[in-house]
Amino acid sequence: MTVSVAELGRRARVAAADLAVRTRANKDAALLAMAEALEANAGSIVTANADDVARARSAGTSEAIIDRLRLDEARVGAMADGLRQVAGLPDPVGEVVRGYALPNGLQVSQRRVPFGVVGIIYEARPNVTADAAGLALKSGNAVLLRGSSSAAASNAAIVDVLARAVADAGLPVDAVQLVRGGGHDAVKQLMRARGLVDVLIPRGGAGLIRSVVEESTVPVIETGVGNCHVYVDADADLARALEIVLNAKVQRPSVCNAAETLLVHADVADAFLPGALAALREHGVTVHGDERVQGYRDDVVPATDDDWAQEYLSLDLAVAVVDSLDDAVSHIRRWGSGHTEAIVTDSLAASRRFTATTDSAAVMVNASTRFTDGEQLGFGAEIGISTQKLHARGPMGLPELTTTTYVVTGDGHVRS
Amino acid sequence: MTVSVAELGRRARVAAADLAVRTRANKDAALLAMAEALEANAGSIVTANADDVARARSAGTSEAIIDRLRLDEARVGAMADGLRQVAGLPDPVGEVVRGYALPNGLQVSQRRVPFGVVGIIYEARPNVTADAAGLALKSGNAVLLRGSSSAAASNAAIVDVLARAVADAGLPVDAVQLVRGGGHDAVKQLMRARGLVDVLIPRGGAGLIRSVVEESTVPVIETGVGNCHVYVDADADLARALEIVLNAKVQRPSVCNAAETLLVHADVADAFLPGALAALREHGVTVHGDERVQGYRDDVVPATDDDWAQEYLSLDLAVAVVDSLDDAVSHIRRWGSGHTEAIVTDSLAASRRFTATTDSAAVMVNASTRFTDGEQLGFGAEIGISTQKLHARGPMGLPELTTTTYVVTGDGHVRS
C-alpha cells in the first residue's frame, strides 16, 4: 500500500506544527529512544538489509557499492551513537539571532524557528536515513526521506523502528516518514510539493543533484560536488606544502573535500615539484600535468581542460604551474566548483588576497582542504556541505536546518 | 543591438570579482556619484519616461498604473536621495558572523561576502531600477536588472546614467546592467542562467512571482504576497485593538503588509465587533464576514473560502469569529501566506503561544501589521520582503544580499 507524497506531506505538516513547540528535553528524549530502538531492533534491520544486498548482488552491483549498502550490528550501533551525539548538541530553535529596540519603543527580536518540513533525497548508504532523521527532529522539523530503491528494505526497516520510537517518546509519529516506492514519479512529486515541503536537500552523486536542482519547484540546497584546489604560493613553507598536498589528495580521495588540482607558483616550481611529484607517485597518485609540469617527470599524463574541470574522487591529481597568485585565483574561478580551496603561504598579504578573491564556500590557509566538514569544524554533526550561496554555504549543521521569524512587540503601535 | 543574457552574465561575473574586493569607501563614492548623476540627468530621464507614459496611454493603461510609471524631477530626486541613504548604511561585506578556535588550533571565521551576481525581475515602477542597483552595489554584487517592457525607455535611461557614474567613480561599468528587449525569452534566459546568476529576486504581482518560482533553475527568493491577519484575543485591550485593525487595514490598503483578515475571539465579539464594524464602514471598508459576523450588521457581505484566501489589496476585509487562540492559529496556518500576523492581547501566555505557533515571517504583538518593512524595522533600506524560509525571511536589507565563506587558518594542519 503506497501513500501519495501529497498525503505524506500533509501528515508531515501536522507533525511539524506540533514539533515546532516541543522543548529540547522532549526532542532529546525522543533521540535517545530512537537510538535505543535501533540497537534493540538491530537484528531485524540487518535481516531486511540482507534482502537489499542479495538483490544488489543478483543485479551484478560492484562489491564497493555493496559494501556501502551493507549493514551489520556494528554499523547499526554507529547509527545509534550518531543519534546520541545529536541529542547532546544545543537546540538551535529559539535562539535570538538579532534583537533591538526601535526609537518608537517597538522591541524587535529575530528568532530561529524550524523550517517545518524538510525533504531529503539520497543514495546508497542506509545510515543517512538515521542521521537525517535525527538532525531534522532535533531542529524541530518533520522529515520526508527518499532513499534509493537499492536500499528500500533497509530504509523501510530503519524508519519503522525510528517512527515507533518517536511515537513512544510522545512526539508525532509522522515526524519521520519514508517516501516508499513510486519510482521517479514519487521523486518528482516530492520535488513539486511546494507548500508542503519547505526545503529539499539532495545528497548523492552529481547526476542526482543536477536533476533535483533542475526539476524542483521546492527550494533546494545544493550539496556536494568538490573540485578543490591547493595553491602553493611563492612564499610557501615547502615542507608544509607537501604535507598538505599529500593529506588533501591521498588521505581519503573519494570524498568531496579531497584535493583535485594542485597549482604551484612558478618561483617555487623547481624547488617544490620534483620532490612533490615523486612523493605523489609513491602514494600511488597519477599526475595530470600542464606542459611545465610534464617537464619535471616522464610519468606525468598531459592534462586537458577535462582534467581542470574534473572531480576525480580517485588517486588522480591535476597539476599546473601558475605565474602569480592572481593567475591561481583565475584558474580556480574558471574551473572550480566553489567548494574548498587552500593556500600555502607565509605571506600575510598573499593570504589576505587569496581569501578575498577566491569565491568558494571555504578557504583554508596553511591547512588541508579535508577540514571542510561539519564534524571537523566543531558543528557536532552535518547534514551535508552546501556549494550554493543561498541560505547555507559550506558544512551545514543544526542551525542551517532552521529559518527565522521576526517577533515585534509594542503597546498598541500603529504607523502614521 | 541586443546582447544575450549569457553575455551580460559573463560581464557581470567579471565585474562581480572586482566589486567583491572594493572597500566601503569605493562603493559609497560610487553611490554618491550615481545620486548626483541622476539629478544632473533628470531632464533626459523624464523625457525618456514620457515615451513610456505616452505608449501606456495609447495602449489604454489605467491612470493608476500610469501614475506608478510616471517620473518627474521630484521623483528622480527621491531616487537620488535613496542612493545617498544607502551610502550611509554600514557595509555588510567583511562582517564576521561567527569566529572561534578549534581544539587543534585552527582559527575558524565565517565572513560575509557578496553573492556575486544578483538578478532582479520587476514590474512597473522605474524607481526600483535605482533602488535595486544601489543595494546591489553597496553589498558588493553586480546586478542584472529586468524591468517591465512598459518602463523600457525609463529603465534604459536610468541604467545608462547609473552605469556611467559607476565607471566614472572607478568601479566596473558592468556592475549595473539592464537586460534589454528579447521579450519573455530574455526573462527565461535569465531564469536559466545558473552558474552566471547566483540569486534571482522577483518583485511584483503574484503571477510574476509564481512564474519565476516555477521556471527558474537559479535559486530564487520569493517575495511579496501578504494575506495578513489581525487576531483580537479574549484578553485584548479593545480600544488598542480597534486602532491596530484600522491602521493595518486602511492606512495603505494596496501594500503587502496591510491586513486582509480580522479574527475575533468569541468572548469579546459582542464587545468589540459592533463598534469595530461601524468604524470600518466609516473608513469605507467592505466587510466580508462569517455567519456570526453577519449577525452584527446588515451590510456584511457573506464570506466564502475565497475571502479567507484572498489578498484584497483594497478596502475589503474578511472577518471571522473564532472560539480560541488555537482556532485563530489554525485559520492562519490554513489560509495565510506566511507574511505577517498580529495578535492584540494583554496576556503573556497568549502572546507566547501565538508567536510560537504562527508560522509566518513576522508576528506583531500589540502592533500593526504595517511594521513589517525594512525601513520601519530600522534596516535603512529594503530589497523586498521574503515570504519563503530559505536564506531570508521577512524584510531583506543589505546583509540578506550576501552569503558567507569560511576562512580557516592553520600552521600546516592536516587531518589524521
Max Cα distance, chain B (Å): 80
Average pLDDT for B316-334: 97
Separation in Å, CA of A244 to nearest CA in chain B: 6
Cα B162–B165–B170 angle (5° rounding)? 130
CATH number at residue B345: 3.40.309.10
Same-domain check for residues A72 and A214? yes
Please write the tens of the pLDDT for every residue from A261-303. 999 999 999 999 999 999 999 999 999 999 999 999 999 999 9
A414 lies in some domain: no
- Kindly state the cell numbers that stand for B368: 500593526
The beta-carbon neighbor of A406 closest among B115, B394, B408 is B394
| Nearest chain B CA: its distance from A32 CA (Å) | 25
Based on the fold, state whether residues B309 and B347 are members of the same structural domain: yes
Q: Across the interface, do A378 and B102 touch by the CB < 8 Å criterion?
A: yes
Mean pLDDT throughout A229-258? 97
Alpha carbons B402 and B381: distance in angstroms, whole number? 15
Query: Residue B1 pLDDT more than 60?
Result: no
- Flag whether A378 is in a domain: no
Question: Is the pLDDT at B18 greater than 70, yes or no?
Answer: yes
Sheet strand arrangement including A259-265: A301-302, A286-289, A316-322, A259-265, A228-232, A340-344, A362-367, B402-413, B107-114, B96-101
Strand A394-396 to strand A384-386: parallel, antiparallel, or no bridges (unpaired)? antiparallel
Farthest CA pair distance, chain A = 80
Phi-psi region of A211 (alpha: psi -120 to 50; beta: other; left: phi over 0): alpha
Residues of A with CB below 8 A from B376's CB?
Answer: 102, 415
d(CA B257, CA B255): 6
Grid coordinates representing A211?
536533476
| pTM assigned to the model | 0.92
Q: State the pLDDT at residue B210.
A: 87
Shared-domain flag, residues B163 and B305: no
The answer to whether A405 contacts B391, with C-beta atoms less than 8 Å apart, is no
CB atoms within 10 A of CB B2: 11
B105 and B171 together in one domain: yes
* pLDDT recorded at residue A213: 87
> Is the pLDDT confidence value at B123 over 90?
no
Domain span at residue A162 reads 5-222+392-409
Mean pLDDT score, B109-127: 94
Tens-place pLDDT, residues B88-101: 999 999 999 999 99
| Yes or no, beta carbons of A411 and B366 under 8 Å apart | yes
Same-domain check for residues A216 and A352: no
What ipTM, to 2 d.p.? 0.93
Of A179, A145, A128, A167, residue with least CA distance to A29: A167
A213 touches chain B (CB under 8 A): yes
Residue A276 is assigned to a structural domain of this protein: yes
Note whether A164 and A54 are same-domain residues: yes
Report the domain count for chain A.
Answer: 2
Q: Which residues of B380-403 are buried (b: 16+ CB within 10 A; e: fewer)?
A: ebbbbbbbbbbbbbbbbbbbbbbb
**Residue B283 to residue A213: CA distance in whole angstroms:** 48
Residue A2, pLDDT score: 65
Residues B109 and B204 in one domain: yes
pLDDT, tens digit, for every residue of A353-363?
999 999 999 99
pLDDT of residue B250: 97
Chain A positions in Cβ-Cβ contact with residue B388 (cut-off 8 Å): 219
Per-residue exposure over B258-295, b if at least 16 CB sit within 10 Å of its own CB, e if not: bbbbbbbbeebbeebbeebbeebeeeebebbbbebbbe
With respect to residue B298, please indicate whether it lies within any of the assigned structural domains. Answer: yes
Alpha carbon A368 to its chain's center = 18
pLDDT computed for residue B207 by the predictor = 86
Residue B162, CA distances (Å) to A38, A187, A197, B47, B120 in order? 62, 46, 41, 16, 16
pLDDT more than 70, % of chain A: 99
* Of A155 and A204, the one with more pLDDT: A155
Residue A123 pLDDT class (50, 70, 90 cuts): confident
Does A371 touch chain B if contact means CB atoms closer than 8 Å? yes
**pLDDT surpasses 90 at A77:** yes
Residues written for chain A:
416
Q: Give yes or no: residues A46 and A191 share one domain.
A: yes
Whether residue A44 is contained in a domain is answered as yes
Do both B318 and B302 map to the same domain? yes
| Mean pLDDT of chain B, nearest integer | 95
In a domain, A380, yes or no: no
Has residue B184 been placed in a domain? yes
Whole-angstrom Cα distance, residue A68 to residue B383? 46
Question: What stretches of B257-331 adopt beta strand conformation (E)?
Answer: 259-265, 286-289, 301-302, 316-322
- The CA distances from residue B233 to A91, B119, B264, B326, B335, in Å, are 30, 42, 7, 11, 19
Answer whether B231's CB lies under 8 Å from B341's CB: yes
* Residue of B242, B351, B390, B401 to mutate for A, most A C-beta atoms under 10 A: B390
Using 50, 70 and 90 to split pLDDT, how confident is the model at B2? Answer: low
- CATH code of residue A148: 3.40.605.10
Residues A275 and A400 in one domain: no
Can you give the pLDDT at residue A204? 84
Backbone torsions φ then ψ of A288, nearest 5 degrees? -110, 110
Per-residue pLDDT reduced to its tens digit, B257-316: 999 999 999 999 999 999 999 999 999 999 999 999 999 999 999 999 999 999 999 999
Whether B370 shows a pLDDT value over 90: the answer reads: yes
Give residue B252's pLDDT.
Answer: 94
Q: Is the pLDDT of residue B224 over 90?
A: no
Residue A376 within any structural domain of the chain: no
- In this structure, the answer to whether residues A132 and A154 fall within a common structural domain is yes
How large is the average pLDDT for residues A214-224?
88
pLDDT of residue A224: 75
Name chain A contacts of B198, Cβ cutoff 8 Å: 389-390
Same structural domain, B329 and B276: yes
Whether residue A246 has pLDDT greater than 80: yes
Q: Which residue has the cell 609540469?
A: A293
**A380 Cβ contact partners less than 8 Å away, ≥ 6 residues apart:** A85, A86, A88, A89, A374, A397, A398
Check B406 against A199: CB less than 8 A apart. Answer: no
List strand residue ranges (DSSP E) for A102-208, in order.
107-114, 117-122, 142-146, 176-178, 199-203
